[in-house]
A and B are shown apart, each in its own frame.
Chain A
Amino acid sequence: MKKIVYTIAVLLGLNANAQEINTISLRVPEFARPLVEDLAREYHESHSQVEFQFISAKTQDAQNILTLTTDEQAVNFARYAVLPVAVQGSEAAKLTSSRRLNARKLRSLFFVNDNEEEQTKAEQKVHIYTGNSQLSASRVYASYLNEEVTDYKGKKISGDDTYLTAAISRDPLGVTVNYLSNIFDLESRTPASSLTVLPLDLDKQGRQVLDAANLDAIISLLEEQTYDEIPVGTVGFSYDQTNRLINDFVCWVLTAGADQMHRYGLLALK
């Protein structure tokens, strides 16, 4: 009996070892996961010896780790955009619909204000939900508005940004920010979970595009224009650049994968 157990264990171990050598471990947040899954699948089809596995941020003992990041110093392959949202028809959506929000008003809405007596009714009433993870849209949003994450009003959510949508869905006064790919249904190209983008004080074209709430139109707009109210940053890979296995995959993404970005709610690199 002991012999059998030992043999199985050795075989499993060897198998695991053999697998690990050709397996790329992907650490990817949800907003880019459909894209990366698709890229991995396609790559595997043409490079069948390469396997992929998705790991969590806690996993430390994996090999060939490829981490998706919004760090500008990484090997970038796409861009993201972040928008403020509420649930369509909610109290929060009503409160914020009366005026278009410029960067100053967005700061006042989302962040602790030094002059609370000057706050609008909406700013006082809505509940802000922000993400706590390192790759949360909330972090890039705060940074873009020259604010601190610790100065966000309201409640913090630990976990992927997809939970932010769940949180505001349960709170009629909930408002949050999120990546385009988390806001829009990638199939219908319209806002998911009845979300609505808060009205922003953009130029005429920008206002029309946002009001239409079509993902492709918004991507197209943000690839051409920049706005003080909409953070746009880079998405890239962070990895050991001496690792040939990963390098080959990343090179492939930068060439063959470039045309898939729009489909998954990301902007192409400039």
Chain B
Amino acid sequence: MKKIILTSVLILTAVLAAQSQVVLTGRITDAATDEPLIGAQVVVTSAKGNGTATDLDGNFRLETKVSLPLTLSVEYIGYRTEEIDVYDDSEPIDIQLTEEVNTLSEVVIIGYGTQKRTQLTGSVTTVSADILENSRQATIDAALSGQVSGLNVTASSGQPGAESHIRIRGGNSVNASNEPLYVVDGFIYFKDAATGSTGLGAIEGSLNPLATINPNDIESIEVLKDVSATAIYGSRGANGVILITTKKGSLGQEKSEINYGYSIGVSRIAKKLELFDASQWAKIQKDYFGNKGGYTDEQIAALGQGTDWQDAVLRDAVQQTHELSITGGTQKNRYAFSFNYTDQDGIILNSGFERYNFHTNTEWELKKGLNFGLNVTFGRSKQSGLTTTESQIFNSSPYSAGITNSFVYALLMPPVVPVYNADGSYNFNNPYEYAYFAIGSHSANPVYDLEESVADNINNYLLSNVWASYRLGGLTLKASVGLNSEKLTQEYFSGAYTSLGLATQGIGGVGNRQTDVWQQEYTASYAIDINDSNSLDALVGYTRQTQTSTYSSIRTNHYTNEALKQYNLGDGSNIYTPNTGISESSLNSFLARVNYSYLDRYNATATFRADNSSRFAKSHRWGYFPSLGLSWNAEKEHFLSSAYDLDYLKVRASAGLVGNQEISDYAFTTSYATGSYAGSSSYAKKNTANDNLRWETTASYNVGVDLGLWHNKVSIVTDVYFKKTSDLLLVVPLGFSAGVSTQLQNVGNVVNKGAELSVNWNLISRKRKSWSISANIAYNDNEITDMGVTDNVIQGSDNQQILRRGEPLGSFYGLVFKGIVQKDEDVSQLPTVNGLTPKAGDLKFEDYDGNGRIDGNDRQILGSVQPKFIYGFSTKYSWRNLDLSASFSGSYGNKVYNALGRRLELTGDSYNVLTTVHDSWTPENGGNTLPLASNPRPFSYIDDRYVQDASYLKLRNVTVSYRLPLDKDFPTVHIYVTGLNLLTLTRYKGYDPEVSSGTDSGAYPSARTILFGTNISF
């Protein structure tokens, strides 16, 4: 009986206990995507330790003895913590968390580590994956345009896969590289200009070194601009550093995320030049150039449009991409894999870009604290471009005459000459061509040139980095070894009927360059919170990078059979001297950095790097690059506590030294080039030793303010900076006794000073409606402050540029145009030209030196390639399933020398001209821009008519994206339409004001593109 009573009591107790237990169940999801949040912490606030975590489906079950009502707190990293009062447990508690937009907790990637944004002392701008994805560009340089204040991206041409020139806070150097340093997942990825060529020549442009990185693989890009951020890269930090971090899976993600994207689009030339049609051209031939065609007025009228050669070499180009990415992870490892295929036809016949790219980023936790990772990118890209006439000399140099490639030649073709004969075959008879591209009755046909010529850059690349790290308390040891191996193959072939092959009965060549860059890095870092107020982290490390580049190329001509083109070079009866070589360099570096923070309010970063580079003279190989950065989070001060609208106010200041070592490998020593002479080997002196060749050093100072207002809805970043580059690496003319005409020396200084402002404004940020605007503007003033004894170095094929003390780099130099001599004008007061007094219809120029005659001494600075301002603006609006985004970028105050325009206003009896030639001076109608059409032109020196304002505003991208309203069980499907480069506002008269070199010799024109695409996520 006792047993029964005892059992009954126990059961009753258990039942009562069970009854007092509250069981709460529910699900935690992302408010924006409705995706379950795995591992979210659900805690009863009044009972410490009484909590649980959500499972793989976001569900939770929590038992508590706290009686209702109670308060539950739900926390998840990166999301706003939610509290909810629970009054009854009769139904599941579904809670949606909203992502937290909080700059305070944001962690920024910096060189060799990460840092809380609040503790940063340097100027670092982050570009998120979202922006790169929205850009829909094949390469990251194009995607960065207009996104970062002070970062100027200028396309070298509209050729698909072509490189861009990127300048961060202006250019520092004349002869060393001005390109920033790229670091991909810790691997220093810098491309010497030399590694983009095999020495073959004849191929216009080169493959973009950044084409090996697929923008969709990138998680974020950090642009390091000031010395506090870049000094850790020492000798390679002067031009700024771009850190690229690729996507990873997430630890604990469990479920794989699979994304597939496809896009297809069409491109068309953004702007066409207006050229004479057949009637107009024949009339000017009849009026001024002897009427070689013998046309009567009636026949001229009947000619009509004739052949539009510009249209004939252009096309609507189709492009498509496939993207597949898989990411995932477990508690102990994470992975990301992606594949990209891009096939992009160019708008010029037979040109394009094709890329296969594979990327993987994996990480394993081998033991507690011991991690191991592997990043691998490999693939193949192929750029089919144009052949260039640069090395072609037949009769005289067509390149010097402005006929730089077959596209330009097409613009010059007389519109009375047809592309095809009546039987459909190519027409090789152009009676007006006698200067450059005709032999006997055969003359070149640009359409045939483009269709049949080969000018390919093919790059097979591998970028791999394997690393291991061990963490013990605050100490982290990390070692990594990486290899960047690239095999560049260049192939070209121009048959006997092409402009390049006419003189030699065809010409072709194949070149190969194998470049291997090995990198080892060993770092130790230690982070400690000394007490509640003081925290410190320190880093020391050693890195070594070696580069070996071997190259070889062969060219032949005179073929009997062109069927296999460059794959049968042995058919050529004439073989050029083979070109082979090797180049090696190494860089050994020690680095150290200490970050100190007091109360998370006062922060300091001290950095030091010592580099030993093989590129400099033996006694000058070590370079030392220190920097100090300070920052103050002023909003934490008591006196600002009542400033309710102010969430964040940081003042930053930095100073330090960085360097530039990007010159050729053996510039410090005497070297000889091999060749052949009269059938025997020959050597020619190529360089003479400079035992004092050393680093180009940039001293940099920066002051900045970061501001967050109204719950950080508005964030403002502004910086002012001063950079002085000393010991400029400059090619200096030498006397004859040296055996070479020039030598690289450390001469002179360049100063860049400027200011930057960027504003981000989240106007609306709700679950189904958001609107954000970003804008930035940067001013930079570039000036050569010293050039030693080599002042006034004139450069360029038309002597159009000058290096001069007191002027910016890339200054244009020429005469100032003063109009056309009119009929009744008193010519006796005009300065003479070539000893002759100008007559009506002749050009007038300013007599700058006032000596009464126009000559080279009357040339003046006509502006420069350096913009006064660059700016960008982008906006994104989301409403329910619909996203709209647009981005603009522009520059103001930069000039471009329009060599193509100058060439196309040169009248004669062979080539077509722009319709502006209609405005040439005539005795009847006057005119004040172009001389009498029959007068010789251009003048020996360039003038300011052709140094044109290249300020522009471009609508880079407009995207409309829609997420299909499918059931949750279905994959997420987005469809989108994107317009690229839809609008350009500019006064520039050429194809495109974006000309990276500053001289527009007829580069590949830019295209306007419409893309349709879809993204499917499983």
Contact = CB atoms under 8 A, between A and B. Distances in A.
Interface of A: 56-58, 112, 114, 116-117, 132-134, 147-151, 155-160, 163, 166-167
Interface string B9-45: 0000000000000000100000100000000000000
Given A155-B83, A157-B84, A163-B87, A116 B710 contact: yes
Interface in B84-109: 84-96, 98
Contact of A117 (B82, B86, B645): B645
22 contacts: A58-B90, A114-B763, A117-B710, A132-B94, A148-B31, A148-B766, A148-B767, A148-B769, A150-B98, A150-B766, A155-B85, A157-B86, A158-B86, A158-B88, A158-B91, A159-B69, A160-B87, A160-B88, A160-B90, A163-B85, A166-B87, A167-B87
Given A117-B710, A158-B93, A151 B88 contact: no
A3 to B, nearest CB: 17
Which of B84, B87, B95, B710 has the most chain A CB atoms closer than 10 A to its own CB? B87
A167 B87 CA distance: 10
Nearest to B97: A150
Contacts of B95: 132, 156
A56 B92 CA distance: 10
Contact of A150 (B72, B86, B96, B763): B96
B823 interface: no
B710 A156 contact: no
A207 B769 CA distance: 32
A138 B4 CA distance: 53
A57 B645 contact: no
Nearest to A157: B85
- Lowest 4 A-B CB distances belong to which pairs? A57-B91, A159-B87, A56-B90, A163-B87
B191 interface: no
A160 B69 CA distance: 12
Contacts of A57: 90-92
Contacts of B98: 150
Contacts of A58: 25, 89-92
A159 B69 CA distance: 9
Contacts of A112: 766
A192 to B, nearest CB: 17
B397 to A, nearest CB: 63
Contacts of A132: 84, 93-95
B85 A158 contact: yes
A156 B82 contact: yes
Contacts of A148: 31, 766-769
Contacts of A116: 710-711
Nearest to A56: B90
Interface string B57-93: 0000000000001001000000000111111111111
B710 A163 contact: no
Contacts of B710: 116-117
A166 B86 CA distance: 12
Contact of B87 (A134, A149, A150, A158): A158
A44 to B, nearest CB: 23
B713 interface: yes
A148 B82 CA distance: 15
B764 interface: yes
A155 B83 CA distance: 7
Contact of B764 (A56, A114, A150): A114
B767 A150 contact: yes
A76 B85 CA distance: 31
Contacts of B82: 156
Contacts of B92: 57-58
A147 B69 CA distance: 28
Contacts of A117: 645, 710
Given A114-B713, A158-B84, A149 B96 contact: yes
Which of B91, B92, B713 has the most chain A CB atoms closer than 10 A to its own CB? B91
Interface string B751-785: 00000000000011111110000000000000000
Contacts of B88: 158-160, 163
Interface in B951-984: none
Contacts of A166: 87
A67 B85 CA distance: 25
B29 to A, nearest CB: 10
A116 B98 CA distance: 19
A222 to B, nearest CB: 28
A112 B72 CA distance: 22
B934 to A, nearest CB: 67
Given A117-B710, A132-B93, A151 B87 contact: no
Contacts of A150: 31, 96, 98, 766-767
Nearest to B771: A114
Nearest to B769: A148
B93 to A, nearest CB: 5
A58 B767 CA distance: 28
A148 to B, nearest CB: 4
Nearest to B82: A156
B880 to A, nearest CB: 10
Nearest to B768: A148
A167 B711 CA distance: 28
A58 B766 CA distance: 30
Contacts of B93: 132, 158
Nearest to A151: B766
Contacts of A134: 91, 94
